[in-house]
Structure formats: structure tokens, C-alpha cells
Amino acid sequence: PTTSEAIPAFARQTGAACLSCHFQSFPTLSAFGRSFKMGALTDVGEQALVEDEALSIPATLNATIVFRPQVIQQSATGTPTTKEIGYVDQVVLIGGRIGPNAGAFVELGGGAFGNHQLFTSFDLGGFKAGINYANTGFGSDSALQLGNTWGQHGGMMGLRDTSANQFLEAKGRKNAGAAVGARKANYASLVAWGGNDMGAVQIGLVAPSDGIAFGVTNDGGTTAPLTGLSGSTFKAANIVRANGFFDVGGLTAGLGGIFISGNVGDNGQFIAAKQLEMKRWGVEASLEGEMGDTQFGLYADYASAGASSTAKTNVFNTDTVNALKGFGIRGTVKPIHNLVLGAGYSSMKATTKTKTFMVGAEFEVYQNFVIALTYTNEKAGTTTTKTTVLDVEALL
């Protein structure tokens, strides 16, 4: 599972509509959504609480069931066209307040991997701060993702697939149920963070994960560059992630950056050729708002991951000759209250250049029930892959 939904569980806890937390449609965050997340998902409305000394929890366990069938048609250069009906993200979501200063988000699926995040938040004058833990497929910075360009909140219509940073994030370890070619991977992280309504900074540790074992373990030989490695390790790379949000003439401008560097392979456990490191950086910019009655969003980013060597393999780039770098840009528009249109393009290059073009439309039946149709054209070297997806997503 890799998307954060307009979760009815949170709507029940806060008494607020799903679109209070989301811009245009889920999972894109609004200012209210960012505030709710930095508050560790603890805000409540009229829902009753069970309270005592060192106890403050909702009287009802807030849960959501996701129903999400997809119809997928795909063709690639030199191969027959395939058509299938798939079921992704058939999960139970449980989330919200576990105390005055702590909250959690958990996805329970049919496989071994389940996204889980633990948030804490403490008021320090005009700032908030906390220590968060995450083990998810949302991205290396998922301990506190606030931006809408990539990761957990860039998933509307899957358009984050035209993000440069998402392209690098997908190079990490995938769980056994991940779709072939899916631009997502799993990471575990522990960070300290601080921020306010204008943004936040998180600093901490991150490592590849399969949702069960932290760090590097045998993945059945299915995912480079982690293929063939065995034995878990607690070594982790350093991560610094920052987001800022500013009012510009009634519009919301966003700026952000990410830097990851460090060895995630135990030197005493692996041979030199199989040392693993995480080494990448990226920047992003966004502009969201309204023109008349039409909501729009513009997103752009740039990302770079250093080349691997004979002694070390970079999780984000296995190319031993060239750095993997490039850009992505996309836009979304909501001309009427229940229709969102979007398009995006990205270009990433190491030894091989990958260009991705994507268009999509989403119809909002209800705030928690959407139908999306997307088309993706990806050219990697001499191979062109065309994918059409009809995505139905309902949350109970």
C-alpha cells in the first residue's frame, strides 16, 4: 500500500469533512491537513474520549476499509499487450489519537508488509516538535511528509510517477507484493522534527526495509541492488528533510529539499563489492490555489543520486559510471467541484535516459469514493512502455 487516503477514520475523529485536510482531492494535503499531521493526528471534534490519568483515547476505534480494483492495459516494445484486473491496497486503515501528544497511522493488508507510522507532537511556544518513526512504502522521508510533489501526498492519479525524486525513491527495496515497475519502495526511519504553520525540518536516520526487518535482509533475489544480501543490520543513513509553505498573493507556494547520505551495509558482514549506501539529494517547488472557482496545482522537482562504485552500491543508483539525475514537472486543475485533470512529464538520465509522460482524469463520486483514468508513456532507452489504468477507489 502506498497512498494516504481521505480517510473516513480521521473524519470521524475530527468531525471535519475529508476535503478539509486535502487540496483538490486526496491524498494531496491542505494547510489544515499539514496542521493535523504536525499535531500527531490527535485533534478531535465531538467524538467522545475515554480519559483518565495518563489516558486520552477516542471511545471508538476509528478504522477504514479500502476497496480498490484496477483495470490495467500495458504494452511494451517487442512484447504483446497485456490486460488484467488487479486488486491493490485492499487494506484496513486504523489511525488517529493514542494520547494527547501521540498518534498513529497503520495499514493492515493481506501480505507481510503493512505501512505504519508513529507520530509525536509537543507545543514549544509558537513551534511544535516531536520524534517520529515510520516503516512504510511512502518514501524515505515518510516519518513526516508534508509536501505534495512526491511520496505519500503526491499520489493523486499516480501523477507522482512524473516526479524526479519519486523516480529515485523507487530504486530502493520493494515488498513482495509490489507491482512490476511500481515507482515505490520501502524504508524505515526515525527522526526528530520541529516546525510550525510555515513548514518543518526533520533530521534522523533511514534505511531500506521490507516492512518486517529494519535494514538489509535477503529479499529472495528479486530486487537490485539488495539482491543476494542476507542478515539484518541496524546501520542507517542520515536524512535531512525540510519543507516551507508561504502565502504569495493568496496562493500557497511550497519549497523543499532532501539530503540522504550514509552506509547501510555492515562492513563486518558483507564483502566490499556488496557494501550498500544511500546517497541522494533533491529539491522541490509547488504553487497551489484558486483562479476564480478553479483550483490548480503546479509542481516541479529536481533530484540527483551519485554513481555506485566497485566498493559500494548506491541504493538510489546502481549505475557505476554516471550519476542518476533529472527533473519532473506536472500540473493539476479542478474546473468543477468533482473533476480533477492532470498531466506531467519527467526526464531522468544516468547511462540510460528515461522519459515519462502522463495524463489523467479523476471523477469524485463522493469525498471518499473516486474513479480515475490515467495513461502513461515511458521511454527507457529504446523501450517504450504504454500503460492505461482505470482505478476505482472507495473507502468505507
> Per-residue pLDDT tens for 310-329?
888 888 998 999 999 999 99
Q: Where are the strands (E) in 226-338, listed by range? A: 237-248, 251-263, 275-291, 294-305, 312-314, 324-336
Contact between 322 and 344 under an 8 Å Cβ cutoff? The reply is: no
Q: Is the CA virtual torsion 221, 226, 230, 231 positive or negative?
A: negative
Question: What pLDDT, on a 0 to 100 scale, did the predictor assign at position 5?
Answer: 42
In this predicted structure, the answer to whether residue 18 has a pLDDT above a threshold of 80 is no
The pLDDT of residue 19: 64
CA 26 to chain centre: 13
State which amino acid sits at residue 273: A
Given a cut of 80, is residue 239 above it in pLDDT? yes
Query: In this structure, what C-alpha cell is assigned to residue 11?
Result: 473524519
* Across 221-235, average pLDDT: 53
CA–CA dist 16, 93 (Å, integer): 18
What are 161's three cell numbers? 510517477
Higher per-residue confidence, 87 vs 284: 284
Q: Which amino acid is at 232?
A: S
> Cell 505504519 maps to which residue?
116
Average pLDDT over residues 290-306: 95
Name beta bridge partners: 349. 325, 353
Distances, alpha carbon 97 to alpha carbons 61, 118, 125, 320, 378, in Å = 10, 10, 22, 46, 41
State mean pLDDT over 196-203.
Answer: 95
| Per-residue model confidence (pLDDT) at position 310 | 82
CA–CA separation, 55 vs 323, rounded Å?
Answer: 51
Would you report the helix, strand and coil content of the chain in percent, each value rounded to 5?
10, 50, 40
d(C-alpha 175, C-alpha 36), whole Å: 29
For the residues 293-312, what does the mean pLDDT come to? 93
Confidence at residue 15, expressed as pLDDT on a 0 to 100 scale: 64
Residue in the block written with cell 480515475: 372
Percent of the chain with pLDDT over 90: 51
Cell of 170: 523507487
How much is the average pLDDT of 70-94?
88
Question: Quick one: average pLDDT of 16-44?
Answer: 81
CATH code for the domain defined by 8-395: 2.40.160
Q: How confident is the model at residue 103 (pLDDT cuts 50, 70, 90)?
A: very high
What confidence score (pLDDT) does residue 117 get? 92
C-alpha closest to that of 1 among 79, 95, 106: 106
Q: For the residues 198-207, what does the mean pLDDT come to? A: 95
Domain ranges (residues) in the chain: 8-395
pLDDT confidence of residue 6: 52
Cell readout for 125 is 511556544
The answer to whether the CB of 208 falls within 8 A of the CB of 226 is yes
The most confident of 19-33, 131-145, 174-188, 253-267, by mean pLDDT: 131-145
Burial class of residue 154, CB neighbours in 10 A (0-12, 13-18, 19+): buried
First to last CA, the chain: 16
pTM beyond 0.85: yes
- Identify which has the larger pLDDT, 110 or 264: 264
Regarding predicted confidence, which is higher, 275 or 113? 275
| Backbone dihedral angles phi then psi of residue 308, each to the nearest 5 degrees | -80, 170
Is a pLDDT exceeding 80 seen at residue 228? no
Nearest to 244 by CA among 358, 379, 147, 130: 147
Question: In sequence order, which residues have a C-beta less than 8 Å from that of residue 51 and are 6 or more positions away?
Answer: none
Number of neighbours of residue 352 by Cβ within 10 angstroms: 13
Residue 158 pLDDT greater than 70, yes or no: yes
Query: What span, in angstroms and rounded, lies between the C-alpha atoms of 286 and 55?
Result: 40
At 181 the pLDDT is: 46
Q: Give the model's pLDDT for residue 2.
A: 37
CB 148 within 8 A of CB 299: yes
pLDDT at 241: 98
Q: Is residue 105 a contact partner of residue 41, using CB atoms and an 8 Å limit? A: yes
